[in-house]
Amino acid sequence: MSQSLLNRAPSRSSSAPSAAAAAPAALGGGRYLLGVWILLAVLTPLSAFLGARGFAPEVGLAGLLCLPLVRLRATDLTGLLLFALLVAWAVVSAFWSPSPLPHDIKSFSRFTGLHLFQQLLFSGALIVTARTLPPAYARKAIAWMGGGLLVLTAVVLFESLTDARLLSALQDLVGQKSNITHWALRTVAQGGYVLVMLFWPVAAGLWAGGRRKLAIAFAVGAVLAPALLHVAAPVAALASSAVLFGLVVWLGRPAALAGMVLAAGQSLAIPWLMRGLAEDGLFQALRGRLPPSWAARVDIWTFTSQRMAEKPWLGWGLDASRMFKGHIPLHPHDAPLQVWFELGALGAILGAMIWGFIFWRYAEAARSRRLYAAAGCATAWCAMIIGAFSFSQWQEWWICLVALAFAACAVLARQLDGSALKRQGGSAKGGSRG
> Which DSSP string corresponds to 102-138?
P-SHHHHHT-HHHHHHHHHHHHHHHHHHHTTS-HHHH
pLDDT digits (tens, 9 = 90+) for 37-74: 999 999 999 999 888 889 999 999 999 999 999 999 88
DSSP string computed for 179-200: -IIIIIHHHHHHHHHHHHHTHH
Q: Is residue 237 part of a domain?
A: yes
Q: Is residue 307 part of a domain?
A: yes
Q: Is residue 8 part of a domain?
A: no
CA distances from 281 to 32, 286, 287, 298 (A): 57, 9, 10, 11
Query: Which pLDDT score is estimated for 404?
Result: 98
- Distance (Å, rounded) from C-alpha 250 to C-alpha 243? 11
Q: How many CB atoms lie within 10 A of CB 420?
A: 16
Query: Which pLDDT score is estimated for 186?
Result: 75
75-90 core/surface letters (b: 16 or more CB in 10 A; e: else): bbeebbebbbebbebb
Query: Which pLDDT score is estimated for 373?
Result: 98
pLDDT digits (tens, 9 = 90+) for 277-295: 999 888 888 888 888 888 9
Long-range contacts of 258-263 (CB under 8 A, 24+ apart): 259/359, 259/362, 259/363, 259/377, 259/380, 259/381, 260/355, 260/356, 260/359, 260/360, 260/363, 263/352, 263/355, 263/356, 263/358, 263/359, 263/380, 263/381, 263/384
CB 343 within 8 A of CB 315: yes
- Distance (Å, rounded) from C-alpha 138 to C-alpha 206? 11
Q: Is residue 54 part of a domain?
A: yes
R_g (Cα) of the chain, nearest Å:
22
Q: Is residue 7 part of a domain?
A: no
Question: φ, ψ for residue 177 (rounded to 5)?
Answer: -125, 140
Number of domains in the chain: 1
**Tens of pLDDT along the chain (434 residues)?**
333 333 333 333 333 333 333 344 455 689 999 999 999 999 999 999 888 889 999 999 999 999 999 999 888 899 999 999 999 999 999 999 999 999 889 889 999 999 999 999 999 999 999 999 999 999 999 999 999 999 999 999 998 888 778 877 776 676 665 554 556 677 788 889 999 999 999 999 999 999 999 999 999 999 999 888 888 899 999 999 999 999 999 999 999 999 999 999 999 999 999 999 999 888 888 888 888 888 999 999 999 999 999 999 999 999 999 999 989 998 999 999 999 999 999 999 999 999 999 999 999 999 999 999 999 999 999 999 999 998 999 999 999 999 999 999 999 999 999 877 666 665 555 555 54
Measuring CA to CA, which residue among 155, 194, 224 is closest to residue 54?
194
Q: Is residue 13 part of a domain?
A: no
Query: Which pLDDT score is estimated for 184?
Result: 64
- Distance (Å, rounded) from C-alpha 371 to C-alpha 202? 12
Q: What spatial distance separates the first Cα and last Cα of the chain, rounded to whole Å? A: 37
Q: What three-state secondary structure class fits 259? A: helix
- Distance (Å, rounded) from C-alpha 334 to C-alpha 389? 5
- Distance (Å, rounded) from C-alpha 320 to C-alpha 340? 11
Q: Which domain holds residue 161?
A: 33-419
What lies within 8 Å, CB to CB, of 211 at 6+ separation is: 143, 146
CB 378 within 8 A of CB 412: no
Give the dihedral sign, CA 184/187/57/35: positive
